[in-house]
Amino acid sequence: MARSDWKRPDLEPLDPGLRRIRMTVSYHGSHYSGWQKQSNAKSVAEIIEQTLKQILDEEVQVVGSGRTDSGVHALAQVCHMDIANTRIKGEKFALALNRLLPADIRILDSCETDGTFHARYTTMARTYRYYYKRECDMTAFDDKLVAKVKQFPSLELLNEYACSIRGTHDFTTFTASGDLCPSRFRDIYESYWRLEIDRFGKELLSYTICGNAFLYKMVRSLVGSMMEFATKDLPVEEFRHILASKDRSRSGRTASACGLYLYRISYDVDEYAWFEEEEHE
């Protein structure tokens, strides 16, 4: 998909007298009903906005790079806010907020930017990671932070599935009902499984996926389906047929939210420029 087809709105200049502050946020998603502010549940953005009001004595809207579902974690969500306050330097917001925020939300950094940056509309790539541990290796510190399985399926077969996901595809098969996006096509730059060792010396099975954007519960559906299919030794050719079928009923189970992390947001226009050149040459 050409970047010109992303159909993002034009950026608007900042209103006179406003400053734009960019922040990187990590949070324990199990304690919240997602990033996006809601009328009937506690969200990460809501808590940050309430804390900002204490500091600035003004209503502030925090704009994130995208939503995360209830229970999903973030290592590096990116957001911005437009404020009239001129007393606090951009880089000081991280320290000021962390003094008041609950410990399960941390501002990793903050800085002043301008109207050419928009946390959502200037995003070039989003990276998610998913983590599994064997049930016998789970510790008391893994609860709600790592998904568990009895055994890991074939890493080779998982990576054959993952390789099939790279490129531009219609991901209708792996999109949950309720998604309102007019197009189900997404560009996937990276997709791979690997074994890692956690801080306790236990094996982690991790999945990494990076793309221009993702559909509703798409990553969790892909992860859960690949794990289920690999356990059943489903041939990679059949996985490709399922992806191409655009038939939601042919997907596997949806992985739980607790193992999923919004890992990184890229705003570098050159980082994945090779993908567009390869796909559209």
Smallest Cα–Cα separation from 263: which of 11, 38, 26?
26
If phi > 0 it is left, if psi is from -120 to 50 it is alpha, else beta; for residue 232 that is alpha
Q: Is 114 a catalytic residue?
A: no
Q: Which residues are annotated as a binding site?
A: 128
How many helices, marked H, and strands, marked E, lie in the chain?
6, 10
Angle subtended by helix axes 218-231 and 155-165, to nearest 10: 140
CB atoms within 10 A of CB 135: 10
Residue 44: strand, helix, or coil: helix
Residues 6+ apart with CB under 8 A from 69: 34, 217, 220, 257
Cα–Cα dist 69/49, whole Å? 19
Catalytic pick among 69, 82, 104, 137: 69
Token code pair at residue 159: 């990576």
Q: Which residues are annotated as a binding site for substrate?
A: 128
Residues 6+ apart with CB under 8 A from 63: 79, 80, 81, 118, 119, 120
40: DSSP letter: S
Give me the active site residues, please: 69
